[in-house]
Amino acid sequence: MNQPAETRAADQATLFAVLTPPGRGAVATVGVRGPRAVAIVARRFAPAAGQPLTEYPVGRVLFGRFRGDGTAKEELVVGLVAPDEVEVHCHGGLAAVEAVTAALVAEGARRIDWRTWSEQIEPDLLASEALIALADARTERTAAVLLDQYRGALREKVRQIAGKLRQEDASAAAAGLSRLLDRAELGRHLMRPWRVVIAGRPNAGKSSLMNALLGFQRSIVFAEPGTTRDVLTATTALDGWPVELADTAGLRASGDAIETEGVERALLQVREADLVLLVCDVTADWSLHEDDVLAAARRALVIHHKCDLVEPPSDGRPVGLAVSSLSLHGIEELCSEIVIRLVPDPPQPGEGIPINDRQVNLTKQALDAVTSGQVADAIWLLAELVGERNSTLPR
C-alpha cells in the first residue's frame, strides 16, 4: 500500500534537535538528520581547510565558521556522523545555540525535541525509553539501574517469561510477571525521588530533624510553636537513592486561619507520602494527633526525638528510633532505616525493571491474560511490551 503524501514528506524531512541541556555550558550539540542534512549545514558552514563540507567523507570532524542570519560568523566544529546525519558543536551559550537553530530553520529544517530525536534514532523501544529516562536520573545508583535497562535487562526478562509460556509453564511465567510488577514502584522512582514527609506536633523538632538529615539548615528553627506553616522541601540522596524531604506544619488545633491551612496541607502530604517520619517529642505525652498521622500514612516510622534530654518513656507509645538532631545521635541509623523502608530489596545488577506506566500496564495485562489461561494473548502483550508491534505471534 502506498504511503499518504504527508507521511512520505515526514519521512523525508530534515530534522534537528538540541541534544545538550539548555542554559550556559562550554559546548552545545545540535544534531541534524535527513536527506538534506549535509547540504543544509554546508550552506552555512565554511570549513577552515577550504573545501566545501560536501566534499568530506563520513567520520570527519571539521573546524570552521558558521554563518547565522546576520553577518557575524561563529567558530564551531561540525562532525559528519552518517551520510544523512551531521552534528554541530558550538559554544554553549544561549545566543550561539539560537543562532545555529534559527539558521537551520531558515534553510528548511524542522526542529524536534531531544526525546523525539532519541526515539527515532533508537530502534529498540525499551532502550529508547531507558535512554530518555536516563536524562532524569538523580543519582549514579539510579542511573546504573536505568543503564541496565538500556542494555537489555528488561527485554531479556520478558524474553524468558515468553519462553516459559511457550513451554506451557504458566506458573513460572506468572511468577516472573508478578516480580516485575513488584518492581514497578522502584522503577518509577528511578527518575522521581521518593517523597519522605516529616510530620508531628508543633515544637517536636521536625525542622531540626530535616536540617540534620540534609546536613545544612534548610528549615527555619525557632522555639515558638507553629513557625512552619507551609511545606518546605529539599532533595538529598540516601545510600544512592534520591529522596525528597518535606517539612510540614505542626499538627494541632488552631484558630489561626493560616496555621489551619498549613495543618491541612501537612495531612495531605502525609496521605500522599512514600514514607512518613512521625516526630514525637520524648518530653511530651503521646496524643491523638500522632494516632491520626499513623492512621493516614501508608508507611510510617516513629522518631522519638530529643532523646539527648530524656530517655524515650515506656508509656505504651509505638516502637521507634531514638534520635537527637542536636547531638546527631541516631541520625545515621535513621538514614539507614529510611532506605530499608523505601527499598527493602535493592535490585541486583542486570535485573529487569519496568520504568514507566506503559511498561507496567502491559505487564499487568499480560499477567491477567496468563491467570485467565489466555496464553496467546499474553505472548502478544509481551511482544507489544518490548516494541515488536509487527510481530506475527498469535493473539
Q: What is the pLDDT of residues 14-32, one digit of tens each?
A: 999 998 877 666 788 999 9
The x, y and z cell numbers of residue 115, run together, are 526525546
Q: What's the DSSP call for residue 69?
A: S
- Residues facing 395 on adjacent strands: none
Counts of helices then strands in the chain (DSSP H, E): 15, 13
- In whole angstroms, what is the distance from residue 312 CA to residue 158 CA? 50
- In whole angstroms, what is the distance from residue 339 CA to residue 238 CA? 7
The answer, yes or no, to whether residue 10 has pLDDT greater than 60, is: no
Contacts of 8 (CB under 8 A, 6+ apart): none
- Residues facing 245 on adjacent strands: 196, 234
The x, y and z cell numbers of residue 258, run together, are 493560616
The gap from C-alpha 368 to its chain's centroid, in whole angstroms, comes to 28
* pTM (predicted TM-score): 0.74
Confidence of residue 71 (pLDDT cuts 50, 70, 90): low
Q: What's the DSSP call for residue 24?
A: -
| Bigger pLDDT: 254 vs 373 | 373
304 close to 228: Cβ distance less than 8 angstroms: no
- In whole angstroms, what is the distance from residue 390 CA to residue 128 CA? 18
At 164, which helix (H) or strand (E)?
A: helix 153-166
CA distances from 318 to 19, 267, 296, 302, 357 (A): 52, 20, 16, 7, 36
**Domain residue spans in the chain?**
14-121, 125-183+349-385, 194-340
**Arithmetic mean of pLDDT over the chain:** 86
Q: What's the DSSP call for residue 71?
A: S
Strand order from edge to edge, sheet including 321-323: 232-238, 241-247, 194-200, 275-281, 300-305, 321-323
90 close to 67: Cβ distance less than 8 angstroms: no
Three-class DSSP category at 22: coil
Class of domain 14-121: alpha beta
The x, y and z cell numbers of residue 291, run together, are 494516632
- Helix H segments across 26-78? 37-44
Cβ-defined contacts of 23-28 (< 8 Å, 24+): 23/94, 24/92, 24/93, 24/94, 25/92, 25/93, 26/91, 26/92, 27/89, 27/90, 27/91, 27/92, 28/89, 28/90, 28/91, 28/92, 28/93, 28/96, 28/97
355 close to 190: Cβ distance less than 8 angstroms: yes
Taking alpha carbons only, the member of 194, 192, 191 closest to residue 132 is: 191
CATH classification code of 194-340? 3.40.50.300
| Bigger pLDDT: 191 vs 224 | 191
pLDDT digits (tens, 9 = 90+) for 195-233: 999 998 888 888 889 999 988 555 444 344 444 445 688
Q: How far is it between the farthest Cα atoms of the chain?
A: 86
Q: Exposure of 234 by Cβ count < 10 A (0-12 exposed, 13-18 middle, 19+ buried)?
A: middle
What pLDDT is stored for residue 368 in this prediction? 97
281 close to 205: Cβ distance less than 8 angstroms: yes
- In whole angstroms, what is the distance from residue 29 CA to residue 23 CA? 12
Share of the chain above pLDDT 90, in %: 60
At 29, which helix (H) or strand (E)?
A: strand 27-33
pLDDT digits (tens, 9 = 90+) for 132-183: 898 888 899 999 999 999 999 999 999 999 999 999 999 999 999 999 999 9
CATH classification code of 125-183+349-385? 1.20.120.430
The answer, yes or no, to whether residue 249 has pLDDT greater than 80, is: no
End-to-end CA, the chain: 24
